[in-house]
Structure 1
Amino acid sequence: MAFFQPDTALPLISYKARRAMAPYIYLAPTILLLAILMLFPIITVIRYSLLDNVIMNKHPVFVGLQNYKSVLANETFRISVGNTLYFTIMSVIFHLLIGLSFALLLNSKLINSKIRSLLRVFYIMPWVFTATIVAIIWRLLLNPVGVINYILTTLNITSSNIEWLASANTALHAVTFINIWAGYPFYMVSLLAGLQGVPGELYEASIIDGANEFQKFWYITIPHLVPIIISIAMLDFIWTMQVFPLIWMTTGGGPIRATEMLSTFTYKLAFSTYKFSLASASAVIILLLSMSVALFYVRHQKARE
């Protein structure tokens, strides 16, 4: 190509320099697009967080970190942090336990291949629904006169209908359960692929050495799955911490802030009370929390490489 001819194009730049620049020239459109769609909005939000109430105030003034202090001192913010941590940690733990259990089941040779295929379709079904559909399904199921309460009262497990999503005692556990149900297929598929990549010779050698099923699982299966588990757990932590549609369409952060998350708290600051600068400060705090986990994820990936 003429671009790489040392005696025709760009005579003042060496041939090696042009070769080194070529990949960046090809990547320039993508980098520019990412800068417009991601970097510019982030910089704008950070700028808003350092000003007086923007948008509502025609001439906002610089207030420094005052918005961050106000957000951190807000009682609802502290409640939303606790709810978000509970929601996220419980979701990640049970995503892993359920996903690993189903992956082991689908990888087992004790089950007929046709049955395994049917189970694979059945288990992955929650993953094909959007957050909106998931929220609608479970609002109907957990309705005081819905299917769940009907089954529980019929079996005499409860004596009366339970307000699953409208009671402060059960709402957070209910939305956490819904998120666990909707998210475990991601773990199941990832771990099933990892299980199918474990060399069979290792299991055969362990049988010769007299290892039982638990020892094979603990000393062969788990070590091979640890890199996958760490990667998907960190990604899941980042995604779950930012969940908004599921919470908003089931409880809206209520009742009495029982399911208030960082995402719903920030949304309400911006579009319910029109405190856009405080909402920007809250969004930056969420960004920093996510970036801390993302940084750990990137370091882990580099260590694996």
Structure 2
Amino acid sequence: MIKLEALRAFVTVAEAGNIRDAAKKLCRTPSAVSMTLKQLEEEVGGPLFETDRKNSLTALGAFMLETGAMQVDSYDRAIERVHAFAENRIGRLTLASVPSVAANLIPQILPRFVADRNEVEIEMFDIDSRSVRAMVESGQVDLGIAGRPAPDAPVSFMPLFRDRFRVICSTDSRLARINRPLRWSDLRRENLILNGASERIKAPSYKALSDRATMTVRNVTTLVALARSGFGVTLLPALSTTDLPMGVVARDLADTSVERVVGIVERNGITLSPVAAAFRKVLVEELPPLVASLGLDEREPPETPQPPKRPEALESAEIRSTDPEDAAL
């Protein structure tokens, strides 16, 4: 069986036209290269060079050079791609993200990430938190960016930032004319439209309102359009309200503890590819300060919580409320 080292030695000598120069390039002694060539000729069953000076190929040598050079080059390129993959210069990254992060944050960090990774292929899904977690669990994507999963979900969660909820309504709504942060009691007479982000708000005051709701919409564009038409109001994270169209306004809640925690979702027990691991590192380093620069999260990102010891503690796992009005509704 012809070894790659022997084939490389032959190709190098044939291209150099002599053993001495080839030996220098191979970092071997001339005698070692000469012995390798002799063994190779015995292996293939015929001479590869016309003379001992190794500057003229036989017909077998010419055929061997044409075939062998391609094999050596193919091997070298394969090894180079393996190194490039390990160094996250090539590869494929699949990512699922909640729409607010996909639209407002990812575009600000992605250009720098791909600047020196021209061969990295990226596929991103813009979906709600529930779908993000499902895609991560099924292995359809490498990473997810979403709200905190349930404690028993087969995924890990790295919190990055908090995002407070705001009330979205028409500029003609009576809520838009209230000159203070809105209380839960202000929403009692409104047609509340539920959505994927607000479905995990556990505040009793909000639950009293949501129990009467008859419509759920999971697309932010449609939610905003319905609010603009005056059909109803909805609650969205502040990051989703940074670029609202005319005719719609986002109002702060008096209950500032109603928030979602956004972070990185990964499958348990899975080693990320080098390019996915590199992008995860970028998310951890750049997303929290980017959110802070937008004035949406003035506090440090939350630590990963310990599993709750009491069932009632699950109520505050992701979105919670301490509004004193909770007792009134």
Pairwise TM-score range, normalised by the shorter structure: under 0.3
User: Given the two structures, how large is their TM-score scaled by the length of structure 1?
Assistant: 0.20
Normalized per residue, the structure richer in helix is 1
Normalized per residue, the structure richer in strand is 2
User: Given the two structures, how large is their TM-score scaled by the length of structure 2?
Assistant: 0.19
Structure with the larger RCO, 1 or 2 (CA within 8 Å, 6+ apart):
1
Higher radius of gyration, 1 or 2: 2
